[in-house]
């Protein structure tokens, strides 16, 4: 993607609005005491730029405010490119197929939501890092929030382990969609291919922070860390729906 200073200004302003930040707060959190961000945002000529080092400091400051990892690409309004120079070729391949949910017969009202979204059973993995097996068995049906009315591509899981706290606490419910490919900075359910001699596909819930031609870069919150996984090891990646998406009036 070509550099576009105006796009980057818009992306920064949009991030501030979503995170509840103002310029002074963000500069303070990022250790920028010289008005660098203000000068860039208010530049009437459009000629000023921010260095990669400044963006990295802004990302670190944004992470302090939001409590989650924030990538430079998010602040620039761009996505990491793959080896062939495109940003979307792999994104369209991330979604997989699972047994669809039942269609809701009518748009539910809050407090009167249909209980027809399948909840899949899970089995805890053995390494203590939040790995589990998504066994494909429907163990219950849970409420269908208004934001997923009429959708047959959504299922539910219970969070295993505390690696994603405080975003989600252990055993809390998440809603997962299979038809929409995830993007960088989406929370995702990653299902891995079985290792040799096993039929178990280990699964994790993490934050997708980067995509390249060969790897996915994932992050967790507790303990905070980022790590890369080989795309050849990945069976499917599903996007987790956030609560604001679930509670709005439609797709």
Q: Are residues 103 and 52 in the same domain?
A: no
| CATH number for the domain harbouring residue 183 | 2.10.109.10
Q: Are residues 95 and 194 in the same domain?
A: yes
Number of domains forming the structure of the chain: 2
Q: Which of 49, 76, 103 is the last residue of a domain?
A: 76
Q: Are residues 135 and 214 in the same domain?
A: yes
pLDDT (tens digit, 9 = 90+) per residue, 38-59?
A: 888 887 776 788 888 898 889 8
Q: Is the pLDDT of residue 140 over 90?
A: no
Choose the most confident range, by mean pLDDT, from 90-94, 134-138, 157-161: 157-161
Q: Are residues 217 and 153 in the same domain?
A: yes
pLDDT of residue 78: 64
For every residue of the chain, which 3-state class applies, written as one string? CCCCHHHHHHHHHHHHHHHCCCHHHHHHHHCCCCCHHHHHHCCCCCCCCCCHHHHHHHHHHHHHHHCCCCCHHHHHCCCCCCCCCCCCCCHHHCCCCCCCCCCCCCCCECCECCEEEEEEEEEECCCCCCCEEEEEEEEEEEECCHHHCCCCCEEEEECCCCCCCCCCCCCCEEEEECCCCCCCCCEEEEEECCCCCCCCCEEEEEEEEEECCCEEEEEEECCEEEEEEEHHHEEEEEEEECHHHHHCCCC
Tell me what the mean pLDDT of segment 162-191 comes to.
89
Tell me what the mean pLDDT of segment 139-166 comes to.
88
Q: Which residue has the higher pLDDT, 211 or 5?
A: 211
Confidence at 230, pLDDT banded by 50, 70, 90: very high
Identify the domain containing residue 61 by its residue range: 5-76
pLDDT (tens digit, 9 = 90+) per residue, 48-87?
A: 888 888 988 898 888 888 877 888 887 887 644 333 333 3
């Amino acid at each position: 993607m070509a550099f576009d200073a105006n796009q980057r200004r818009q992306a920064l302003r949009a991030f501030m609005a979503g995170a509840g930040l103002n310029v002074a707060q963000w500069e303070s959190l990022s250790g920028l005491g010289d008005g660098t961000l203000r000068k860039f945002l208010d530049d009437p000529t459009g000629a000023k730029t921010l260095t990669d080092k400044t963006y990295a400091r802004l990302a670190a400051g944004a992470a302090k405010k939001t409590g989650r990892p924030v990538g430079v690409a998010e602040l620039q309004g761009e996505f990491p490119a793959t080896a062939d120079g495109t940003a979307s070729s792999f994104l369209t391949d991330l979604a997989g197929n699972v047994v669809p949910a039942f269609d809701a017969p009518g748009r539910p009202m809050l407090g009167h939501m249909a209980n027809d979204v399948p909840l899949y059973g899970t089995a805890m993995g053995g390494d203590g890092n939040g790995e589990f097996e998504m066994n494909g068995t429907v163990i219950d049906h849970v409420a269908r929030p208004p934001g997923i009315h009429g959708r047959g591509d959504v299922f539910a899981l219970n969070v295993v382990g505390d690696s994603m706290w405080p975003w989600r606490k252990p055993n809390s419910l998440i809603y997962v969609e299979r038809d929409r490919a995830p993007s960088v900075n989406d929370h995702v359910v990653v299902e891995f291919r079985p290792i040799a001699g096993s039929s178990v596909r280990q699964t994790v819930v993490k934050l997708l922070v980067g995509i390249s031609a060969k790897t996915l870069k994932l992050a967790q919150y507790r303990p905070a860390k980022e790590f890369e996984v080989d795309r050849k090891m990945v069976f499917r990646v599903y996007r987790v729906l956030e609560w604001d998406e679930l509670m709005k009036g439609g797709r």
